[in-house]
Amino acid sequence: MNGLYTALMCSFHDDGRVNEQGLREIVRYNLDVQQVDGLYVNGSTGENFLISTEQKKQIFRVVKDEVEDEAKLIAQVGSLNIDEATDLAQYATDLGYNAISAVTPFYYKFDFDEIKDYYFTILDSVDNDLIIYSIPALTGVNMNLEQFGELFAHDRIIGVKFTAPDFFLLERIRHQFPDKLIYSGFDEMLLPASVLNIDGAIGSTFNINGKRARQIFELAQNGQLNEARDVQKVTNDLITDVLSNGLYPTIKEILKVQGVDAGTLRKPMKPLTADGAKEAERIANTFIT
Ligand code: HMN
């Protein structure tokens, strides 16, 4: 399960339905052009928290059908509705997903016992491994080293998608849990995370910049830090421009410039203005080869 995983975008029609053909095109572009090792399906980047249970299942189905056994698949099933989370975990497992992942429960201020119960309930419902999805900036849930340890005590919690700029905690987790998988979640920090000996990364910008992400990761693993820094610099120039133009709509527009039908966004996310679309085209022409 090591390696680079794209946090997969999804293509939607203007009326909000899943654009299945567009979704297949995004999958193919990631596998054939960006050449990532796997896909992280129905994460934040997939607009997961804006769609229905049936649409989540539809996306799991279409992606598996397109990928078959060409790449590893991780299904993000986390939900505030525990019944939905267990239902999706079983669904993705039956489809053959290699692992499931669940975002920490958010919105209400759950205490750690409740968070632990959430993960163990999902695991009890399914015969698959689980990767914790930790993204404190969006969820408000900050877990400490001891709490990660309590979760990692479960032998089917195999790792964490660590989307935080806390390199002290990342290093401590790496040191204390050498057998667990750590995936870095912030693409602009891939190099410092790689230096700390992570097992892989999961990123939204890999949809358009997966090849550079691989260079950074592999150069760092080989100890070629100056070269890795150069590639991270170009990557961060790209990410700076993408973030200032609007993360998800800009990635979608860049995919369109590459000939991929990335469709529109689910409300309440808004599409790019005409000027924003022009800027996305400039970014694509500047950075995407
Ligand atoms: C997902 O669940 O879609 C991703 O794994 C999330 C991923 O960590 C991204 N975070 C967010 O979109 C909030 C990053 O790839 C991020 O988009 C990128 O580093 C730019 O900041």
Angle between helices 167-176 and 145-152 (to 10 degrees): 40
Q: Does domain 3-225 bear CATH number 3.40.1440.10?
A: no
Report which ligand 1 atom has the smallest distance to the Cα of 161: 5
* Dist. CA 95–CA 110, nearest whole Å: 31
Identify the CA nearest to 205 among candidates 192, 221, 229, 189.
Answer: 189
List of residues 6+ apart from 111 with CB closer than 8 A: none
Residues of the chain with confidence (pLDDT) below 70: none
SS3 12: strand
Q: According to the model, what pLDDT value does residue 234 have?
A: 98
Active site residue 133: yes
Would you tell me how many other CB atoms lie within 10 Å of the CB of residue 275? 9
| Residue 241 in contact with ligand 1 by CB distance below 6 A | no
Identify the CA nearest to 119 among candidates 95, 98, 163, 150.
Answer: 150
ipTM surpasses cut 0.90: yes
Q: Are 38 and 98 in contact (CB under 8 A)?
A: yes
Q: According to the model, what pLDDT value does residue 289 have?
A: 78
Q: Which of these is catalytic: 64, 72, 161, 252? A: 161
Residue 163 labeled ligand binder: yes
Report which ligand 1 atom has the smallest distance to the Cα of 204: 15
Q: Which amino acid is at 16?
A: G
Active site residue 161: yes
Tokens of 142: 């900050």
Question: What is the torsional sign of CA 223, 200, 182, 136?
Answer: positive
- Residue 24 CA, ligand 1 centroid: distance in Å: 21
Q: Are 199 and 236 in contact (CB under 8 A)?
A: no
| Residue 186 in contact with ligand 1 by CB distance below 6 A | yes
Residue ranges per domain, the chain?
3-225
Residues found in the chain = 289
Which DSSP category does 222 fall into?
T
Helix, strand, coil share (%) of the chain residues, nearest 5? 55, 15, 30
* Dist. CA 89–CA 78, nearest whole Å: 9
